[in-house]
Amino acid sequence: MSSLTLRSVTVRLGGRAVLDSVDLDVAERETVCVLGPSGSGKSTLLRAVAGLQEIGAGEITLGGRDLAGVPVHRRGVGLMFQDHQLFPQRDVGRNVAFGLRMRGDGRAEAERRVAELLAMVGLPDAQRRAVGSLSGGEQQRVALARALAPSPALLMLDEPLGQLDRSLRERLVVELRQLFDELGTTVLAVTHDQGEAFALADRVLVMRDGRIAQSGTPPEVWQRPASAFVARFLGFDNVVPATVTGRAATTPWGTLPVPDGTPPGPATLLVRPAGVRLDADDVARPAPDDAAEGGRGLRCQVLARTFRGDHVVLALRPERGPDLEATVPLRGAPSPGEKVTVSFDAAETVRLPPED
């Protein structure tokens, strides 16, 4: 059963549709992360579900209940939003107890629940601490405990770890994921950080101009972006117009191999950086432009190389076509200015629909 459903939800602001007839189902216990460029409507989506943003058309239901006209505090949603930060003048315990006291829980009951939640987020016995004495990561944990306190049917997070440094974020993402699994909470989260979304989510939504450009599990979206837009948004730059014929595609880089069964016709081709292989023999050979040869022989100049832990990303300027990105092992990675020849791996090549 779907916990949260949106049907044709539209929000118009400043004369344009910031959410444009959005349909969405979030299953019970599912964690959905919303990604998309700045201004694509992510926060508006969350605000509409929370009741902080009125919708112009459509329907939102939570646990089967229509939320039209239901005020924020009666929606059964827990919010961890950047503009809903902690009350600095209250101690940790009173921050976490806020929603419980609001709904009329007795003092003893609220205290018991606060203790339980603080233990759960890894801050046992922090009730009397001043909010100002906590680190950024600890404050995020308190904000999470506060959002979870009333056992919401839906927990919504807007850039939950946005202010924290990378290593702390990476650790907290793992903890959050475990916590949501244990609690069986349904979660809708917005984040700018793809790594965070892919690590946290059961399903990722990519938004574009108020619409959902793609919805899928992290591996589905990563391996098969639905469009050139999604591919570029995920950081793939090797995206070109192409015409597929049989097991080959004509592209600005020459003729490239494509996987068996790739539908023919006009398309956009994505070659993942791992699919751009440096030929062992770096001596520039004539480029035969032969698909059976894997498009072997595209000569390139190395523009830049960036170390990424266990591999190197090369920016390449080919003799024809747009610049290419390749990932290669650390050992023997060429330096800027060097000439290399590359071939393409069909297994790392994805056909996308032609661009509009």
Ligand X SMILES: Nc1ncnc2c1ncn2[C@@H]1O[C@H](COP(=O)(O)OP(=O)(O)OP(=O)(O)O)[C@@H](O)[C@H]1O
Q: Are 31 and 4 in contact (CB under 8 A)?
A: no
Residue 83 binding ligand X, by CB under 6 A: no
CB of 322 to ligand X, least distance (A): 27
Closest CA to 269 of 315, 321, 310: 321
Residue 14 binding ligand X, by CB under 6 A: yes
Nearer to ligand X, 42 or 169 (CB): 42
CB of 192 to ligand X, least distance (A): 6
CB of 20 to ligand X, least distance (A): 11
Nearer to ligand X, 14 or 332 (CB): 14
CB of 87 to ligand X, least distance (A): 24
Give residue 342's identity as a one-letter amino acid code: V
Q: Which of residues 203-242 bind ligand X (CB under 6 A)?
A: none
CB of 264 to ligand X, least distance (A): 37
Nearer to ligand X, 65 or 84 (CB): 84
What is the maximal distance between C-alpha atoms in the chain? 81
Nearer to ligand X, 53 or 343 (CB): 53
Nearer to ligand X, 13 or 292 (CB): 13
Q: Which of residues 298-317 bind ligand X (CB under 6 A)?
A: none
Residue 210 — left, alpha, or beta (φ > 0 → left; ψ -120 to 50 → alpha)?
left
Long-range CB contacts (within 8 A, 24+) of 118-124? 118/92, 118/93, 118/142, 118/145, 120/145, 120/148, 120/179, 121/145, 121/179, 122/175, 123/92
CB of 180 to ligand X, least distance (A): 22
Q: How many residues bind ligand X (CB under 6 A)?
A: 11
Continuous segment of H or E residues that includes residue 45: helix 42-50
CA angle (64 as vertex; 74, 205 as ends), nearest 5: 90
Nearer to ligand X, 54 or 281 (CB): 54
CB of 72 to ligand X, least distance (A): 17
**Residue 167 neighbours by CB under 8 Å, 6+ apart:** none
| Tokens of residue 227, six digits | 């469009």
Residue with tokens 């046992």: 124
Which string of x and - marks every residue 252-281 that binds ligand X (by CB under 6 A)? ------------------------------
Nearer to ligand X, 16 or 73 (CB): 16
Determine the angle formed by the axes of helices 136-148 and 107-120, rounding to 10 degrees.
130
Give residue 39's identity as a one-letter amino acid code: G
CB of 73 to ligand X, least distance (A): 22
Q: Which of residues 35-74 bind ligand X (CB under 6 A)?
A: 36, 38-44
Nearer to ligand X, 15 or 286 (CB): 15
Residue 84 binding ligand X, by CB under 6 A: no
Q: Which of residues 185-204 bind ligand X (CB under 6 A)?
A: none
Q: Which residue spans within 173-274 are E strands per DSSP?
A: 187-190, 203-208, 211-216, 239-245, 248-251, 254-257, 265-271
Which string of x and - marks every residue 16-35 that binds ligand X (by CB under 6 A)? --x-----------------
Compute the distance between CA of residue 237 and CA of residue 20 in angstroms, rounded to an integer.
28
Nearer to ligand X, 16 or 308 (CB): 16
Q: Are 249 and 57 in contact (CB under 8 A)?
A: no
Q: Which residues here bind ligand X, judged by CB under 6 A? A: 13-14, 18, 36, 38-44
